[in-house]
Amino acid sequence: MSFFVKTNISECGGFEKFLSEWRIGESDLILTNEYVLTPQLDGKPSPCDVLYQEKYGGGEPSDEMVDAVLEAIESKKKQNGKDYERVVAIGGGTVIDVAKLSVFGEGLRCQEIFEKGATLPRKRRLLVIPTTCGTGSEVTNISIVAFKKKQTKMGLAIPALFPDEAVLIGDMLRTLPYEVFATSSVDALIHAMESHVSPKADVFTRTLGEAATRRILKGYIDLADASGSKAKTLPRELQTFLTASTMAGIAFGNAGVGAVHALSYPLGAIYHVPHGKANALVFKAVFEAYQRLGADLSPLEEILSDILNCPRPAVWEKFFELVNRILAPQPISELGVDENKCAEMAQSVIQGQQRLLNNNPIPLSQEEIETIYRNCL
Ligand SMILES: NC(=O)c1ccc[n+]([C@@H]2O[C@H](COP(=O)([O-])OP(=O)(O)OC[C@H]3O[C@@H](n4cnc5c(N)ncnc54)[C@H](O)[C@@H]3O)[C@@H](O)[C@H]2O)c1
Ligand SMILES: [Fe+2]
């Protein structure tokens, strides 16, 4: 067993306080979104240079977006005649995963970083303020990028990608659109649950995974109770979701995530579905396959039975009923997926996602993966 948390984690009462306590100044560069930073600055100027990620590409990180941001950092550096000591990523998984690839300094591009990452020296420190409640990227050593030509997402996991500091500020989430709250919190829930059933799970990852699962589901139950048949407003307890997603990040950073993530990557890359939603599309079918194939999910089922206040045989039905109230389910046929595409995607998962498939509680063959996709049509 080996359990590791590299990133220093702090809670901070607000953004202004963060700027002064962390002495953000001229040797720093903020990478963020304009609509995330502007409400926080409240009319005041930024104390350091800022790059807005949305100017370099839409949606989630692609190799093209990463290259455009790296080029922009280099040209800003040339203009100013100085390098940046710290990069401050303020955003969701997209901003954070792009910022992680900027720690190596000049002259490198995404493909090269993915190929040589483990041998590259690190040149900058990385501070992260997550503004969604999902990825846990603020505490993981992973960056996930869609490679356009390969039509799938790939994850790079190397020690240099651990942020130095994660600063949790619940107020940063108040501008989140409901849909992003829903997709990102479902992503965190899946991190907690996939890491719980992973063969690499240990008492530390399971404890954090359980705590995250309890917080998120309790939050969902309150939200569903308060908002009738379909929840559409942000919960008041955003800090609870934020803490839960960081806990889930530590759990999966150590024990890994498995088939839900592996099967969601082609959907995200080909059909441009946000990461949390792509996961949600295959979540139920993957866990049904685990049950069908006899995986031992009993420790997780005990926890769900307690949270959902129902006997163990009823947990999965009750669990997905609740998740569906937060994020409406959708058949993947509505994205344009057909039976041929299911076969193609199953092949690409087997070829490209062994890093994740190794974390399944039970092995899945290519035929079984294809069946899972078909069950989602
Ligand atoms: N590195 C990891 O450990 C890890 C883990 C899971 C997922 N990911 C990656 O993270 C990405 C998804 O990240 P995400 O779910 O956080 O979504 P995201 O970062 O793509 O954000 C979704 C949208 O919400 C906006 N947004 C974010 N915070 C906001 C705020 N506070 N107010 C207003 N708008 C806001 C963003 O600008 C974007 O348009 C995917 O690329 C996924 O592959 C990485
Ligand atoms: Fe995820």
Q: For atom 35 of ligand 1, which residue has the closest CA?
A: 176
Claim to verify: residue 78 and residue 164 sit in the same structural domain: yes
| One domain, residues 360 and 234 | yes
User: Quick one: average pLDDT of 231-258?
Assistant: 93
pLDDT at residue 228 is higher than 80? no
As a whole number, mean pLDDT of residues 150-161 equals 89
**Token couple for 363:** 């092995």
Structure tokens at 128: 């992260």
Report yes or no on 239 lying in a domain.
yes
- Is residue 148 domain-resident? yes
Is residue 291 domain-resident? yes
Query: Which residues have C-beta under 5 Å from ligand 2, the single-atom ion?
Result: 187
Residue 191 CA to ligand 2 centre (angstroms) = 6
Candidate of 15, 51, 52, 60 to mutate for ligand 1, largest count of ligand atoms within 8 Å of Cβ: 60
Q: Which residue has the higher pLDDT, 106 or 65?
A: 65
Protein residue whose Cα sits closest to atom 12 of ligand 1:
93
Phi, psi of 72 (to 5 degrees): -65, -40
User: Would you state the structure tokens that stand for residue 102, as one six-digit string?
Assistant: 């900027």
pLDDT of 230 higher than 70:
no
311 lies in the same domain as 188: yes
pLDDT reading at 254 higher than 90: yes
Q: Which of 119, 142, 173 is the last residue of a domain?
A: 173
State the pLDDT confidence band at 48, using cuts at 50, 70 and 90. very high
Based on the fold, state whether residues 129 and 25 are members of the same structural domain. Answer: yes
Residues 279 and 208: beta-carbon distance below 8 Å: no
The ligand minimizing its distance to the Cα of 249 is 1
Enclosing domain of residue 349: 178-375
Q: What's the DSSP call for residue 62?
A: B
Model confidence band, residue 233 (pLDDT cutoffs 50, 70, 90):
confident
CATH code assigned at 121 = 3.40.50.1970
207 and 168 housed in the same domain? no
Are residues 64 and 197 both part of a single domain? no
110 and 208 in a single domain? The answer is no
Strand duo 8-11 + 165-168: pairing = parallel
Q: Is residue 1 included in any domain, yes or no? A: no
Instruction: Say if residue 143 is in the same domain as residue 188.
Output: no
47 CA distance to ligand 1 middle (Å): 24
Q: Are 179 and 187 in contact (CB under 8 A)?
A: no
CATH of the domain at 302: 1.20.1090.10
Q: Which of 173, 200, 215 marks a domain boundary? A: 173
Tell me whether residue 3 is in a domain: no
Residues 311, 194 share a domain: yes
pTM of structure: 0.96
Total structural domains in the chain? 2
Q: Is residue 336 part of a domain?
A: yes
* Segment 108-136, tens digit of pLDDT: 999 999 999 889 999 999 999 999 999 99
Domain stops at, among 125, 144, 173:
173
- The mean pLDDT value for 312-329 works out to 96
Euclidean distance between CA atoms 273 and 249, whole angstroms = 21
Which of 5, 66, 97, 169 is the best mutation target for the ligand 1 pocket, counting ligand atoms within 8 Å of the beta carbon and taking the most? 97
Ligand nearest to the CA of 188: 2
Q: What is the pLDDT of residue 148?
A: 83
Q: Check pLDDT > 80 for residue 152.
A: no
Buried b (16+ CB within 10 A) or exposed e, 31-52: bbbeebbeebeeeeeeebbbbb
Q: 2 lies in a domain?
A: no
For ligand 1, atom 10, the nearest C-alpha belongs to 93
